[in-house]
Amino acid sequence: MATAAAPKVYRNFINGEWVEARGGKAYENRNPADRDELVGMFVSSSEEDVNQAVDAAKEAYKKWRLVPAPKRAEILFRAAEMLVARKEQYSREMTREMGKVLAETRGDVQEAIDMTYYMAGEGRRLFGQTTPSELPDKFAMTVRQSIGVCGLITPWNFPMAIPSWKMMPALVCGNTVVLKPAEDTPLSSYNLVQVLVEAGLPRGVVNLVSGDGPGAGAPLTKHKDVPVISFTGSTPVGRLIAEACAPKFKHYSLEMGGKNIILVMEDANLDLAVEGAIWGGFGTSGQRCTAASRIAVHKSVYKEFVGRLVERARALRVGDGLDAATDMGPCINEAQLNTVMNYVEIGKGEGAKLLCGGTRLEDGTRAKGWFYAPTIFGDTRANMRIAQEEIFGPVVSIIPVENLEEGLEVANGVVYGLSAAIYTRNVNRAFEAARDLYTGIVYVNAPTIGAETHLPFGGTKQTGNGHREAAITAVDFFTEWKTVYVDYSDRLQRAQIDNN
């Protein structure tokens, strides 16, 4: 009689070796589209494992920081080339563990490719400044210096792109890394680390520990030898990380929640606005920090826009992301599905009008997955919970507004400030919105998702703590400035005292 093959057990990567967790425990990683499919078993790390990884990273830092930045960059370039070659394989594996459709996981891997190439280029550009001194025979300049061991904690919705946003700038700047990926999607991080190892990264420079937040994430944030923490996830967890980092004055970057909005003006191209709203609201099943979960629509086009949007949402095909016919995949897990269902009930109770969706999908091939129908609420008031709180699922609330001024007031009337968009053919309104929307990202005639790696990514208010990811701003976070004065006058010069 045939027997099922034993599941593959993925181990931690510490000091250049794949090792078991000290506690000997492991957890299941299952396909959210079919919970009968076991993607793999991943070890559950504890504080002891984190300490081991930090020790390895701390020791490796002594040599890695002295490797010339262009040489560090060459390793990243080789890694990017490998990612290109393995893009399809890694994309399919990501869909199996995370659920989003194959077109989106290909985009996720492509973002990692783009970020790795970009940061490889920065290896020959880590520019400082030279400036004239106010005194004779004196030279003044600034240089960037690495910081040390960087603890990186990443989410499940972009399981390769976001780790690349953090790892690649940290590495090219001369830091070493301990990565704790989301427990729902560790395989994609394993693939990214494997590529870096094969590209020639020295032992201990990158370390990976899998597990949950309390077991592995919390010890990493509190570790005395980890001066840098970069986190992407929920605002409540980000607050805990800030509290853990503050007493030791660590560098910490928090990229957290969003309640993003699309403004649709009366002069908008409605066909384009509907397509943008569908992509913004239901891409990745709404499980993006940049998802367009609110749409403020001018009352003069409200009825027409809503009719078109509901028709398009009802036509979306929900199912296994590996099926080419699928438009939207499942929620990541049962807990997230329950959160979505609870918010739908909250919306009904608040008096919003359920226009479509509002049900779990359990028929046929979807019976063993965490699927939910694309859901739209109409006649939503801006102060309703479904229009204020991050749901992180395929739920969109539509709010009628009288004019742009009211739309801007609605847009800014939440605790988050990540991304916003406006659809209009009036260039004056477009620039007014770009000026007055208090968010980190603004799109004109495009949805709230679509960030590019060579521009800063991040938000205001409770979305973040002022730092930005990607682009040169990531280099700013993972380095410290050092000012260097070289006095070749062969005499004591006392700056302002001798220069008055």
Same domain, 268 and 223: no
Same domain, 349 and 479: no
Same domain, 150 and 282: no
For residues 192-209, average pLDDT: 98
CA 106 to chain CA mean position, Å: 16
pLDDT score at 1: 45
Residue whose structure tokens are 């990264």: 201
From residue 390, alpha-carbon distances to 236, 310, 311, 361, 417 in Å are: 12, 21, 24, 22, 12
For residues 79-101, average pLDDT: 98
For residues 168-173, average pLDDT: 98
Alpha helices in 177-245 (DSSP H): 186-198, 218-222, 235-245
The answer to whether the beta carbons of residues 405 and 437 sit under 8 Å apart is no
Domain that holds residue 99: 9-256+464-483
- Considering the domain boundaries, does residue 45 fall inside one? yes
- Continuous segment of H or E residues that includes residue 344: helix 334-350
Same domain, 219 and 273: no
Distance between CA atoms of 28 and 5, rounded to whole angstroms? 15
Longest dimension (CA), the chain: 94
Is residue 63 pLDDT above 70, yes or no? yes
Is residue 263 pLDDT above 60, yes or no? yes
Same domain, 342 and 474: no
DSSP assignment string, 419-455: EEEEE-S-HHHHHHHHHH--SSEEEESS-S----TTS
CATH number, domain of 246, equals 3.40.605.10
- The pLDDT tens digits of the residues spanning 268-312 come to 999 999 999 999 999 999 999 999 999 999 999 999 999 999 999
Cα angle vertex 212, ends 208, 214, to 5°?
A: 115
- Considering the domain boundaries, does residue 459 fall inside one? no
Q: How many domains does the chain have?
A: 2
pLDDT score at 496: 84
CATH number, domain of 344, equals 3.40.309.10
- Tell me which residues are annotated as active site: 255, 289
From residue 153, alpha-carbon distances to 218, 228, 235, 262, 339 in Å are: 10, 11, 14, 29, 23
Same domain, 365 and 224: no
Same domain, 94 and 224: yes
- Considering the domain boundaries, does residue 4 fall inside one? no
Please give the single-letter amino acid code of residue 17.
E
Has this prediction a pTM greater than 0.85?
A: yes
Torsion of CA 441, 121, 17, 154, to 10 degrees: 0
- Considering the domain boundaries, does residue 500 fall inside one? no
Same domain, 473 and 413: no
> pLDDT band at 5, cuts 50/70/90?
low
For residues 89-94, average pLDDT: 98
pLDDT score at 499: 72
Terminus-to-terminus CA distance in the chain, angstroms?
A: 94
DSSP bridge pairs for 495: none
DSSP assignment string, 18-66: EE--TT--EEEEEETTEEEEEEEEEE---HHHHHHHHHHHHHHHHHHTT
Same domain, 426 and 311: yes
For residues 209-215, average pLDDT: 96
Same domain, 239 and 280: no
pLDDT score at 498: 77
- Considering the domain boundaries, does residue 31 fall inside one? yes
- Considering the domain boundaries, does residue 297 fall inside one? yes
From residue 9, alpha-carbon distances to 16, 43, 479, 500 in Å are: 18, 7, 36, 70
Distance between CA atoms of 196 and 173, rounded to whole angstroms? 15
Please provide the average confidence, as pLDDT, over all residues in the chain: 96
pLDDT score at 4: 57
> pLDDT band at 8, cuts 50/70/90?
confident
**With pLDDT > 70 as the criterion, what percentage of the chain qualifies?**
99
> pLDDT band at 316, cuts 50/70/90?
very high
pLDDT score at 9: 87
Same domain, 335 and 234: no
For strands 375-378 and 353-356, give the pairing.
antiparallel
- Considering the domain boundaries, does residue 197 fall inside one? yes
- Considering the domain boundaries, does residue 187 fall inside one? yes
Same domain, 435 and 475: no
The answer to whether the beta carbons of residues 479 and 173 sit under 8 Å apart is yes
- The pLDDT tens digits of the residues spanning 322-356 come to 999 999 999 999 999 999 999 999 999 999 999 99
